[in-house]
Amino acid sequence: MSGRLARVEALAGPQRNRARRTALRLLGLAVIVAFAALAARHVDLGGVLAVLARADPILVLLACGANVLSLALHSKRWASVVQPPGARLRFRDAFAAVTAGFAAGVVLPARAGDVLRAALLARRARLSTASLLAAAALDYVVGSAALVPLLALLAVGTPLPGWARTALLAFTAVAAAGLVAAFVLRPSHRTTVAPAAPKGGHRLALVARLRAGLSATHDPGALGRAFAWGVAGWMAEVLIALLALAALGLPTTLAAAALAVLASTAANIVAISPGNTGPFELAVVVALAGLGVDREPAVAFALLYHFVHLAPVTLIGGGLLLVEARRDEGLGEDALPGP
């Protein structure tokens, strides 16, 4: 009887996972439809299209190129905190994993791309997926910490709106709490990101691998490099916004670009819809509206700004995913390292 119940539970598990994924997709589509309906009611779509029609294609291409630069800097930041002792992590592997993960996020909600990028890098570098997930969390903490001084400098020269001050405090709190947690949970000494399983069963092995992903906290140089790459990455993000503003003939100010970056970053924290379509645009429109930009140009900018983020990762990351699928007949669990 117990064996039959075990088989039933084993079959029910994948079904529950599929149902959960389906529910998330439906929720994401509902969010997109809701925001589209909101835009149709309160925005002159003809005016938005007119603004988009006069976009400078050269500047749009340059903005896409700046996004590729941002992806490269993001990859360097992540690689700085997952460097295994005694081994060299290749940049091309980190870049491929990051870009493919973002590409998956274009069609998958709920940050599923973060899990995929950890799994892809684990597969390419023969490291532990669980350790790389923990390292990815540390990477986000370092990225948040790198954003704080840039926003503080902006606040010195330009009065920040209330929502931006709240976001600055939130990023500061996340960075501080994340760093404290990382130092508390890290292993007792710097170790490889794929440690041997300790005695005590699968759970202890999983905990050990997760903690190993925080080993970079023992290396101030690694954290310093990650922070520097993070600052450079945020500067690239500001460049993307500046080029997108210029492409539409909108006021190209550092304040507008920085607030667009901050608003879109805050909206991306909880990615409900595929590609975070809807919340991304709404956050950017609110940010520009607070600077006096009219509604239609603000919506046009939000759409173009999102496009120059999605187009490069879709082309490059999608191509990398196809290469991986053809090489190993899909990303099956048997081909990926264990947890």
pLDDT tier at 336, thresholds 50, 70, 90: very low
Give the phi and the psi of residue 65 in degrees, each rounded to 5.
-65, -40
Does 277 score more than 90 pLDDT? no
**Please, are residues 154 and 255 in contact by the beta-carbon 8 Å criterion?**
yes
Predicted local distance difference test score (pLDDT) of residue 87: 59
The C-alpha atoms of residue 215 and residue 12 are separated, in whole angstroms, by: 37
**Please, are residues 98 and 308 in contact by the beta-carbon 8 Å criterion?**
no
Predicted local distance difference test score (pLDDT) of residue 243: 97
Output the CA torsion sign for 183, 184, 186, 188. positive
Predicted local distance difference test score (pLDDT) of residue 42: 59
Output the CA torsion sign for 188, 194, 200, 206. positive
What average pLDDT does range 272-288 have in this prediction?
Answer: 82
- Residue 67: HSE in the Cβ half-sphere, 13 Å Cα cutoff: 27
What average pLDDT does range 41-65 have in this prediction?
Answer: 88
Does 110 score more than 60 pLDDT? no
Predicted local distance difference test score (pLDDT) of residue 301: 95
More confident residue, 92 or 106: 92
Predicted local distance difference test score (pLDDT) of residue 199: 47
Angle, helices 254-268/279-289, rounded to nearest 10 degrees: 150
Does 313 score more than 80 pLDDT? yes
Kind plus residue range of the DSSP H or E element containing 63 = helix 57-81
Tens of pLDDT, residue by residue over 180-211, are 998 888 887 655 554 444 444 577 777 888 88
CB neighbour class for 184 (10 Å; exposed up to 12, middle 13-18, buried from 19): exposed
Does 271 score more than 80 pLDDT? no
Predicted local distance difference test score (pLDDT) of residue 307: 94
Does 300 score more than 90 pLDDT? yes
The C-alpha atoms of residue 140 and residue 105 are separated, in whole angstroms, by: 16
Does 34 score more than 80 pLDDT? no
**Rounded-to-10 torsion of CA 22, 28, 30, 33:** -140
Hunting for tokens 């926003």 — which residue is that?
Answer: 151
Indicate the pTM of the whole model.
Answer: 0.80
Does 134 score more than 90 pLDDT? no
Does 240 score more than 90 pLDDT? yes
Residue percentage of the chain with pLDDT more than 90: 29
Does 65 score more than 90 pLDDT? yes
The C-alpha atoms of residue 181 and residue 183 are separated, in whole angstroms, by: 5
Predicted local distance difference test score (pLDDT) of residue 201: 54
pLDDT tier at 15, thresholds 50, 70, 90: low
Predicted local distance difference test score (pLDDT) of residue 8: 40
Of the candidates 143, 133, 295, 339, the one whose C-alpha atom is nearest the C-alpha of residue 233 is 143
Does 290 score more than 70 pLDDT? yes
Output the CA torsion sign for 247, 248, 249, 253. negative
- Count of CB atoms within 10 A of residue 24's CB? 17
**Please, are residues 237 and 70 in contact by the beta-carbon 8 Å criterion?**
yes
The C-alpha atoms of residue 51 and residue 300 are separated, in whole angstroms, by: 6
